[in-house]
Chains A and B, each alone.
Chain A
Amino acid sequence: MRFIVERDALADGVIWVSRSLSARPIMPVLLGVLIKADKKGVHLSGYDLETSGKAEVVADVKEEGTVLVSGKLLSDIARALPNKPVTFSLDGNRVSVISGSAKFALPTLSVSDYPNLPELPSETGRLSGDLFAEAVGQVAIAAGKDDSLPVLTGVYVEIEENKLILAATDRYRLAVRELNWDAPRASAAALIRARTLNEAAKSLAGAKSVSIALAAATANERLIGFASEGKVMTSRMLDGTFPPYRHLLPSERSATAVVEVAPFVDSVRRVALVADKTVPLRLAFNPGALTLEAGVGDDAQATEELEIAFDGEALSIAFNPTFLLDGLAAVNSAYVEIAFTGGSKPAVLSGKSSADGESDFSYRYLLMPMRYSS
C-alpha cells in the first residue's frame, strides 16, 4: 500500500472517523482506524459497535492495500503534520507516514479481526447541512444528561409525510423543532443519543446537502445514518420509547411577552450572579416592563428592569436561570416570544425576527417554572 494525500483532506477525514472510536472498546482492534487504498481513493473507517464513521479522502494511490492503525495516534499525527503532501506506505508490518521532514512509523493492528461496518440504510430525505446543524443544536440542549434515564439522553427524530420533527426533553424542559423537507418515505421515527447526533450535525454544518437515513422499524439493525460529501456515519438507535410529549404543549395562552434576546440574556446573566445557578430567578412581567430578581434576605440580591412588549394578565414566574438561558440561546432569533398560561405552568419560548415581525413556531422551547413551597 502506498498513497499521497493532502494534509487538510487527511485531517478532516481522520477527525470524522475518530468520532466513532471508543477510548475503551470491547475489542482492541476497535482502537484502530482502517485505511483502505484503492483505485477510487482512500477510505477511512472507525467503529465502536454503537456508531460507525467512514470518510472518503481524495488521494494519489500508487499501490492498493488495507491497514489498521491506532486511531488516537493517527488523529494526533494528522492534526500536527505540516501543511504539505503526506505519503503513506506499508513498510514490513509498520506504516510509514512522511510529510516534509517529519517521519513516523506506526505499528499495524490485525486487519482480519476488524469487524464489518453496518450498512447505511436507504435514504429517507435530504436537507442542508446548516439547517440540520441548527435544528439539532436547538433540541439537543434540552436532552437529559443522566445516563440512568437513557431514553431522555436522546433526540427523538420523527418523520411525518414531508415534515421532520426533532424533540428532546430532560423532564424539566422540552424542545421541539419542525421543518419541511422532501422525503420519499412517508413516516418513520428514531431515538438517537443527543451527543452523537449533535457532534455529527455540527461537523456537517456547511455541507450543501445531508442525506438522512432511518432504518425501517422492521429492520434487523435499528440504525440511523447520515451521509454527506464522502462522509458517512451510522448510529444505533437508543432502546426505549420516547415519552409522549405533544399533550405538554399548551394549546392556549393567557399572556404573551416579546423581549429582545441580547439585552434579556445580559440581564439574566447579571442578576443570576448573586445566586447559585440552580436557585430560581424571579421574573415579574407587566405591561411595558419586566423585572428580574434573584437572592433574598441577608444574602446578595440583584434586580434589573427591561422594557418589553407584554399583552395579557400580569404575572410572576420563577425559572432556573441556566434553563432559561439555554432556551434564549436556542431560539436563535433577535426577539423571543414567550407565551404563558400562568405562573406555575410551563412557558413556551419561540423566535421572532423583529419586535413586530411574524412569530416563528417552527421551534418551541417549553420550560417548567420553579415552584416555591410555602
Chain B
Amino acid sequence: MEEIEAEQATILHIDMDAFFASVAERDNPELRGKVVVVGTGPRSVVTSANYAARKFGIRAAMPIGQARRLAPHAVFVEPDMRRYSEVSEKVMEIFRNFTPLVEPISVDEAFLDVAGAKRLLGTPREIGSAIRQKVESQEGITCSVGIASTKLIAKLASSRCKPNGMLEIPPDQTLTFLHPLPINELWGVGEKTGEILSKLGLKTIGDIANTSRATLIRAVGESAGATIYELAWARDYRSIVLNEPEKSIGAEETFSSDLDNQEEILGELLRVTDRVTRRLREEQFMARTISIKVRFGDFTTITRSKTLPLPISATQEIYSQAKALYVALNLERARVRLIGIRLEGLLALNGQPLAAQPELGARDKGWSEVEVAIDAARDRFGGEAVAPARLLKPPDLPGRG
C-alpha cells in the first residue's frame, strides 16, 4: 500500500548568480574581485553585472553610459553569447542528472521537479545542495536555489537568497512567505497592472488575496484578474514543461549612431535577418509570422508584424517581408536607433527535410535551395564565407563600426 504523501515542496527554481559576469570572471581570473559589467559600446545596455558592480547600483538593462558614470573604474566586458550557451548547456546537463524533469526558462535559470528523485537522492533540500556543489565544482560558478511546492513560490524564494544561497518554503509557510511581498513580485503584475492595483490601495500580495476576485476582474480584466487572484493564494498549477518548443527567434541591433538613411537601415535589417534566419534553419524551424521592431532616437519603439498563409525559412523571402513592413512605416528620415526582427509561429521540422511551397511557374531552384547551399558553405568555411552582397565588407577598407 502506498501512502498518500502530504503536499511537498519538490519544485526547485535554480538561478545562476550574475551568470554572464560570473562566466567572464571564471574565464579571466584577472577579473576576480573587480567590478565587472558585461556590455560594451556607449549605446548598448548592461546585460549582466557582478555583485560588486551591483553595489554601485548597476543593474541589467541600464544604459552603459550610466553604468560608467556610476562606476568609472569598472571593467566592461564584451558579451560572448556562444560561450554562455556552452556553459548553460553543461549546467542544464547537471540538472538532468538529478531529474529528467527540467524546464529551462532561459540560459541561466530552470525549474526542476524532484518529486521522483527523493527516494534515491534524498530530500529536495539535499538535492538542492548537491546541485549547487556540483555546479560550483564543475563549472566554477554559483547558483541560488528556491524550493517550494509551486513554481511561483520557488522562483520568489530563489530571488530572496541570492547570491549563492538556498531557501526552502515548506507548504504550510507558503502564505506567510508570500503575503507580505510587494504586488509587483507576482507573476502577471507588470507596470500597468501594478499601477491599477496601487490605485485600489493594494500594496502587498496579501492585499490582493484579500480583495474579491470579482473586484480584481473588474479592475484588470477577466483573465489577468482571475490569474493574479489565484496566484495570490499560491494556487499555481503549472507543472514542469519539458522542452517547451521555442516560441520565437529574434535578433536586434543597436546602431553605433542613429541612422536616418533608409538604404543603410535596410542593410542593417538584412544583416539581422540573415542572422536569425540562419538560426531558424539550424534549429530546423520554419516561420509564419515575421515582426520587426524599430526604436527611434527618442527611444519610442514600434513593432509591426505580418502572418503568412504558409511558413517560410529562406533569408530572402523573410527579408522581403520584413522590408515591406519597414517600408510601409513611411518614415521620412526618422532617426532610428535600433532595428530588430522576430520570427514567430514556428513550425518544427523535426528532422524532416526542409520543404517549401514554390509558386506556380517557379524556377526549379528557388531561394531555399540556394540558402541551404550557403548554410553548408558557412558551416565549412566560417560565417563570413558567403553573405548577401550588400553585407560584404570591402576588403581594403576598415569594417563598419
Contact = CB atoms under 8 A, between A and B. Distances in A.
A174 B353 contact: no
Interface of B: 286, 306, 308-311, 324, 347, 349-362, 364, 366, 368-369, 371-372
Nearest to B364: A344
Contacts of B360: 169, 171-174, 248, 346, 366, 368
Contact of A373 (B309, B347, B354, B359): B354
Contacts of A320: 310, 357
B291 to A, nearest CB: 15
A148 B325 CA distance: 11
Contact of B369 (A170, A298, A368, A373): A373
Contacts of A280: 355
B352 A368 contact: no
A297 to B, nearest CB: 4
B353 A299 contact: no
Contacts of B357: 172, 278, 320, 368, 370-371
Contacts of A318: 355
Given A174-B360, A278-B310, A346-B360, A372 B353 contact: yes
A172 B362 CA distance: 10
Interface string A269-295: 000000010111000000000000001
A169 B310 CA distance: 15
A125 B60 CA distance: 72
A346 B355 CA distance: 16
5 contacts: A170-B309, A173-B360, A278-B347, A373-B353, A373-B372
Chain A: interface secondary structure?
loop
Interface of A: 144-146, 148, 169-174, 247-248, 276, 278-280, 295-299, 318, 320, 344, 346, 366, 368, 370-374
A276 B287 CA distance: 13
B9 to A, nearest CB: 35
Contact of A368 (B362, B368, B372): B362
Contacts of A346: 360
B394 to A, nearest CB: 31
Given A171-B359, A368-B359, A373-B368, A297 B352 contact: yes
Contacts of B324: 148
A130 to B, nearest CB: 30
B149 to A, nearest CB: 34
Contacts of A144: 309
Central interface residue in B306, B359, B360, B366, by most chain A CB within 10 Å:
B360
Contact of B353 (A278, A344, A374): A374
Contact of B355 (A247, A366, A370): A370
A144 B361 CA distance: 17
B309 A297 contact: no
Contacts of A298: 350-351
A248 B358 CA distance: 14
A169 B353 CA distance: 27
Contacts of B306: 148
A287 to B, nearest CB: 26
A169 B357 CA distance: 14
Contacts of B356: 370-371, 373
Contacts of A372: 353-355
Contacts of A146: 308-309
Contacts of B358: 172, 368, 370-371
Given A146-B309, A344-B364, 18 more contacts: A145-B309, A169-B360, A278-B311, A279-B355, A296-B351, A297-B350, A298-B350, A298-B351, A368-B362, A370-B355, A370-B358, A371-B356, A371-B368, A371-B369, A372-B354, A373-B353, A373-B355, A374-B353
A283 to B, nearest CB: 13
A358 to B, nearest CB: 27
Contacts of A299: 350-352
A370 B353 CA distance: 11
B34 to A, nearest CB: 48
Contacts of A296: 350-353
Central interface residue in B306, B347, B371, by most chain A CB within 10 Å:
B347
A279 B352 contact: yes
Contacts of A366: 360
Nearest to A245: B360
Nearest to B314: A373
Nearest to B308: A146
Contacts of A373: 353-356, 368-369, 371-372
Contacts of A248: 360-361
Contacts of B350: 296-299
Nearest to A296: B352
B357 to A, nearest CB: 5
A174 B361 CA distance: 11
B343 to A, nearest CB: 15
Given A146-B309, A320-B310, A371 B359 contact: no
Contacts of B355: 279-280, 318, 370-373
A170 B358 CA distance: 11
Q: What 5 A-B pairs are tightest by C-beta distance, nearest first?
A: A297-B351, A373-B372, A171-B359, A372-B353, A373-B369
Contacts of B349: 279
B310 A371 contact: no
Central interface residue in B311, B349, B358, by most chain A CB within 10 Å:
B358
A143 to B, nearest CB: 12
Contacts of B366: 371
Contacts of A368: 357-360, 362
Nearest to A169: B360
A297 B354 CA distance: 13
Contacts of B372: 373-374
A248 B362 CA distance: 10
Nearest to B324: A148
B352 A172 contact: no
